[in-house]
């Protein structure tokens, strides 16, 4: 069914429109109430600064649908190659307007925008595979989910929870360097990293040797990824496991899930698998090619990993 022609697509034009957008997203994408405002979970794409990434469908003055389109750069780790892509999230139609083709139109608008912005693929995270297949999306990439259960003996490696605002730019760049090296990854500046660390309910842990961070991890992200380590970096799998056991010794939770790239080197993956009580492999995301370099972008995405803070 195609959407009526009296629909306009644009960025929110006032704080009032941003408030109604956040209310629509909150009602559509969260259960119950939150201890923070919905936009706080998306400090780069739903903030005033990120206004141009927020796309609303209006029927007259009424906001009826929304999707974020966040242009990012996928960068090769050793060669001077990069591919512009668009991350999509915060997708919702007002419940009174569902089933009328509005999201179909909004996604078609996003595809046109992506094309005019020379983005080569759209990427999103959703369980609604069937819905997105309608628009040319398919599963791409791989990720591991490893369950690490509390060991009988207590650990204390010195890993501690920190206030993210205490981390310096040097800390943030060494954290990025400590992540496993992959062929392709999404670029992130220290300023963006700092903003993403303000997401409520994100527990940030670091371990230092002298002043230098040698291990770190982030658990949780707003209402998502509870008890999931979705970003991390360490010098060896043994140190990473000991640090996870340190958290398990100090907190009530019995187990944590470690998200890891599908292409993780076997020197890392095998010991992690051995020390996990369960592990499984999953698709990383859904993606659709855009324009003439679309297939090339899909191939690069299949060999990339998009970390938790970047996924919207």
Ligand X SMILES: CC(C)(COP(=O)(O)OP(=O)(O)OC[C@H]1O[C@@H](n2cnc3c(N)ncnc32)[C@H](O)[C@@H]1OP(=O)(O)O)[C@@H](O)C(=O)NCCC(=O)NCCS
What does the binding site for ligand X look like in residue numbers (CB under 6 A)?
1, 28-29, 91-93, 98-104, 126, 128, 130-131, 134
CB 151 within 8 A of CB 241: no
Q: Shortest approach of ligand X to residue 302 CB, angstroms?
A: 21
Distance CA 33, CA 239 (A): 38
Q: Shortest approach of ligand X to residue 275 CB, angstroms?
A: 33
CB 72 within 8 A of CB 101: no
In the complex with ligand X, the residue whose CB is nearer, 118 or 226, is 226
Q: Shortest approach of ligand X to residue 96 CB, angstroms?
A: 10
Cβ neighbours around 34 below 10 Å, total: 15
In the complex with ligand X, the residue whose CB is nearer, 5 or 165, is 5
Q: Shortest approach of ligand X to residue 26 CB, angstroms?
A: 11
CA neighbours within 13 Å on the CB side: how many for 58? 15
The CA distances from residue 151 to 34, 246, 249, in Å, are 33, 10, 8
In the complex with ligand X, the residue whose CB is nearer, 2 or 236, is 2
In the complex with ligand X, the residue whose CB is nearer, 132 or 205, is 132
Report the residue count for the chain: 312
Q: Shortest approach of ligand X to residue 102 CB, angstroms?
A: 4
Long-range contacts of 27-31 (CB under 8 A, 24+ apart): 27/95, 28/92, 28/93, 28/94, 28/95, 29/90, 29/92, 30/223
Distance CA 101, CA 65 (A): 11
Distance CA 298, CA 287 (A): 7
Concatenated DSSP letters for 29-56? Answer: H-SS--SS-GGGG-TTTSSSTTGGGEEE
In the complex with ligand X, the residue whose CB is nearer, 77 or 126, is 126
In the complex with ligand X, the residue whose CB is nearer, 106 or 264, is 106
Q: Shortest approach of ligand X to residue 34 CB, angstroms?
A: 16
In the complex with ligand X, the residue whose CB is nearer, 134 or 170, is 134
| H/E element, 27 | helix 15-29
In the complex with ligand X, the residue whose CB is nearer, 78 or 96, is 96
Q: Shortest approach of ligand X to residue 286 CB, angstroms?
A: 9
Q: Shortest approach of ligand X to residue 134 CB, angstroms?
A: 5
State how beta strands 203-209 and 138-149 pair: unpaired
């Amino acid at each position: 069914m195609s959407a009526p022609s009296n629909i306009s697509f644009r960025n929110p034009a006032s704080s009032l429109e941003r408030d109604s957008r956040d209310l629509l997203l909150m009602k559509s994408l969260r259960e119950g109430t939150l201890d923070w405002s919905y936009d706080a979970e998306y400090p780069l794409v739903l903030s005033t600064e990120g206004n141009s990434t927020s796309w609303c469908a209006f029927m007259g003055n009424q906001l009826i649908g929304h999707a974020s389109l966040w242009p990012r750069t996928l960068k090769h780790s050793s060669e001077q190659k990069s591919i512009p892509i668009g991350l999509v999230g915060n997708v919702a139609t007002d419940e009174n307007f569902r089933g009328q083709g509005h999201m179909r139109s909004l996604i078609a608008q996003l595809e046109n925008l992506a094309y005019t912005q020379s983005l080569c693929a759209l990427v999103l995270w959703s369980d609604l595979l069937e819905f997105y297949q309608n628009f040319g999306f398919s599963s791409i990439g791989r990720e591991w989910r490893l369950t690490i259960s509390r060991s009988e003996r207590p650990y204390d490696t010195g890993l501690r929870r920190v206030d993210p605002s205490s981390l310096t730019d040097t800390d943030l760049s060494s954290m990025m360097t400590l992540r496993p090296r992959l062929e392709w990854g999404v670029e992130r500046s220290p300023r963006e990293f700092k903003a993403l660390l303000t997401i409520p309910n994100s527990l940030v842990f670091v371990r230092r040797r002298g002043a230098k961070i040698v291990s770190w991890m982030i658990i949780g992200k707003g209402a998502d990824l509870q008890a999931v380590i979705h970003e991390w970096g360490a010098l060896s799998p043994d140190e990473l496991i000991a640090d996870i056991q340190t958290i398990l010794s100090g907190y009530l939770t019995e187990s944590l899930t470690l998200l890891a790239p599908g292409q993780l080197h076997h020197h890392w993956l095998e010991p992690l698998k051995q020390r996990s009580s369960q592990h499984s492999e999953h698709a990383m995301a859904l993606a659709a090619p855009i324009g003439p370099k679309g297939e090339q972008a899909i191939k690069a995405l299949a060999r990339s990993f998009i970390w938790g803070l970047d996924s919207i």
